[in-house]
C-alpha cells in the first residue's frame, strides 16, 4: 500500500485535469480520444446518466466500509433488472465450469454482480476523490516484473483480462510510466465522460479501437506501455480458436505480432477488488514469446489469462458474449 506522503508526491502534476503529455502522445489523424460534456447533454434523455454521476460523486468521499455494502446492493439491482445479461453470465459459467453444480454457479453469479456493483461505485472514487486517496487504495504486488523490461529500454505490453478493477488500477499505472490504451466509447455520453475521465486522470492516453496496428507499434517503440485487453470475441475474420477455460474461443492473433514488431515484453497483469480497495498483481514477463506460431501464441495468451483468473473467477466480466463465434459456424450458445 502506498503511503499518503509518497502517493501525494507522485500525484503532483497528474491530478484530475491533466491532459495527455504532448511528448508521449502518438500523432494520428483522429488524435487521442477526449470526451466532452456540452449543454446538449443536459437534455432530459440523459437524466439517468446525471443521477448516476451524482451518486458516484457522493460515494467518492465515503469510506469503503460504507460504499462496499452500497455497491453490493447496487449489484443485486443489476442482477434483478437485466435478464439478458444475467442469462449470458449463466451460459458462460455453465460452459467454463461444467464440473460445478448449478447451485455453485448461481452463487458465483451472485458474487459476480456484487463485485460489479462495488466496482461501479468506485468510478466516483477514481474520478472525484483526492489523488492521494486513490493512490493509497491500491496495493501493488510484483511491480518489479513491470519495471525490469522498462529499465532495459524495452517497451511493455501489459496483458490484462477484463476484470472489475481494470479501469481503476489501469489508470494509476500511467503515473509510473507513459501509457496508452484502446477503448470503445460508452453509448451514454455522461457515463462515457465519467469512465474515460477516470481512465485518463493520471495521464493515460486513450485511442479508439480502430487506432491501427502500425500506430500501436509506433507508440510501443516510443516506449509507451500498451494496456492491452484482448479477451473479447471479435468474430472469425481476425481470430483463431484457442482454449479458454476449456472452451474453444475466438482469439485475436495480435499479441504475438505486436510483441515481435515492437520488440516488447509481455507482462501479465491482474486486478482484484478487495474490501479496502484493490490489489494489482504483475506476473513475470512471458518467456520465449512470441514463438512466431500464431496458434501457439494465442494458446499461451489464453492459458496465462485463465491461470490468473482461477483464484478470482467472480471478478471476471462474464457479461460479455465470449463464445458467440463457434468453430465450424456452429450456432451461438447465446441464441434463443
- The string of pLDDT tens digits covering residues 167-205 is 887 788 998 899 999 999 999 999 999 999 999 999 999
- The string of pLDDT tens digits covering residues 140-156 is 999 999 999 999 999 99
Band (29; pLDDT cuts 50, 70, 90) = very low
Give the SS3 label for residue 300.
Answer: helix
Of the candidates 297, 230, 222, the one whose C-alpha atom is nearest the C-alpha of residue 263 is 222
CA 167 to the chain's CA centroid:
5
Q: What is the pLDDT of residue 313?
A: 96
Q: Is the pLDDT of residue 112 over 50?
A: yes
Q: What is the pLDDT of residue 320?
A: 95
CA distance 10 to 223: 20
CA distance 163 to 229: 10
Q: What is the pLDDT of residue 30?
A: 56
- The string of pLDDT tens digits covering residues 217-267 is 999 999 899 999 999 998 888 899 999 999 999 999 999 999 999 999 999
CA distance 207 to 220: 14
Q: Find the range with the poorest average confidence among 71-75, 159-163, 210-214, 302-306.
A: 210-214
Q: What is the pLDDT of residue 324?
A: 95
The residue to which cell 499505472 is assigned: 173
Q: What is the pLDDT of residue 2?
A: 43
Its sign, for the CA torsion 54, 56, 62, 68, is positive
The predicted model gives 260-279 an average pLDDT of 96
- The string of pLDDT tens digits covering residues 5-20 is 344 333 332 223 333 3
Query: Both ends of the chain: CA-CA distance in Å?
Result: 47
In percent, how much of the chain has pLDDT > 90?
Answer: 78
CA distance 120 to 165: 9
CA dist list (Å): 137 to 35, 101, 163, 177: 26, 35, 17, 19
- The string of pLDDT tens digits covering residues 74-90 is 999 999 999 999 999 99
CA distance 67 to 65: 6
Q: What is the pLDDT of residue 175?
A: 87
Contact in structure between 120 and 74 (CB atoms under 8 Å): yes
The predicted model gives 108-124 an average pLDDT of 96
Q: Which helix (H) or strand (E) holds 281?
A: strand 277-282
CA 236 to the chain's CA centroid:
23
For the whole prediction, is pTM greater than 0.85?
Answer: yes
Parallel, antiparallel or unpaired: strands 277-282 and 265-274:
antiparallel
Give the SS3 label for residue 232.
Answer: coil
Mention every residue, 6+ apart, whose C-beta is less than 8 A from residue 158.
Answer: 146, 170, 173, 225, 226, 227, 228, 267, 268, 269
Band (335; pLDDT cuts 50, 70, 90) = confident
CA distance 281 to 252: 24
Q: Find the range with the poorest average confidence among 59-73, 76-90, 157-171, 295-309.
A: 157-171
CA dist list (Å): 64 to 8, 82, 137, 210, 317: 20, 26, 10, 37, 22
Amino acid at each position: 500500500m502506498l503511503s499518503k506522503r509518497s502517493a501525494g508526491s507522485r500525484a503532483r502534476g497528474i491530478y484530475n485535469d491533466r491532459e495527455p503529455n504532448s511528448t508521449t502522445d502518438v500523432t494520428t489523424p483522429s488524435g487521442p480520444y477526449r470526451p466532452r460534456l456540452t449543454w446538449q447533454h443536459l437534455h432530459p434523455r440523459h437524466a439517468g446518466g446525471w443521477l448516476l454521476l451524482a451518486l458516484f460523486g457522493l460515494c467518492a468521499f465515503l469510506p469503503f466500509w460504507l460504499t462496499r455494502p452500497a455497491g453490493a446492493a447496487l449489484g443485486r439491482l443489476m442482477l434483478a433488472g437485466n435478464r439478458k445479461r444475467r442469462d449470458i453470465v449463466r451460459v458462460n459459467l455453465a460452459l467454463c465450469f461444467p464440473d460445478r453444480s448449478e447451485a455453485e454457479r448461481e452463487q458465483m453469479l451472485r458474487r459476480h454482480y456484487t463485485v460489479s456493483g462495488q466496482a461501479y461505485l468506485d468510478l466516483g472514487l477514481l474520478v472525484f476523490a483526492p489523488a492521494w486517496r486513490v493512490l493509497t487504495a491500491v496495493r501493488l504486488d510484483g511491480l518489479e516484473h513491470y519495471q525490469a523490461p522498462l529499465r532495459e529500454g524495452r517497451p511493455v505490453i501489459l496483458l490484462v483480462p477484463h476484470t472489475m478493477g481494470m479501469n481503476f488500477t489501469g489508470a494509476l499505472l500511467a503515473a509510473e510510466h507513459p501509457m496508452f490504451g484502446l477503448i470503445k466509447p460508452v453509448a451514454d455520453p455522461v457515463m462515457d465522460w465519467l469512465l474515460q475521465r477516470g481512465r485518463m486522470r493520471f495521464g493515460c492516453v486513450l485511442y479508439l479501437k480502430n487506432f491501427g496496428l502500425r500506430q500501436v507499434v509506433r507508440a510501443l517503440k516510443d516506449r509507451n506501455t500498451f494496456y492491452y485487453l484482448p479477451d473479447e470475441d471479435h468474430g472469425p475474420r481476425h481470430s483463431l480458436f484457442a482454449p479458454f477455460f476449456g472452451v474453444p474461443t475466438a482469439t485475436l492473433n495480435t499479441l504475438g505480432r505486436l510483441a515481435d514488431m515492437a520488440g516488447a515484453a509481455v507482462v501479465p497483469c491482474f486486478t482484484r477488488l478487495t474490501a479496502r480497495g484493490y490489489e494489482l498483481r504483475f506476473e513475470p514477463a512471458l518467456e520465449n514469446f512470441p514463438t512466431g506460431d500464431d496458434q501457439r501464441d494465442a494458446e499461451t495468451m489464453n492459458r496465462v489469462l485463465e491461470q490468473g483468473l482461477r483464484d478470482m473467477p467472480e471478478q471476471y466480466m462474464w457479461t460479455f458474449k465470449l463464445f458467440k463465434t463457434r468453430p465450424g459456424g456452429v450456432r451461438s450458445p447465446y441464441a434463443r
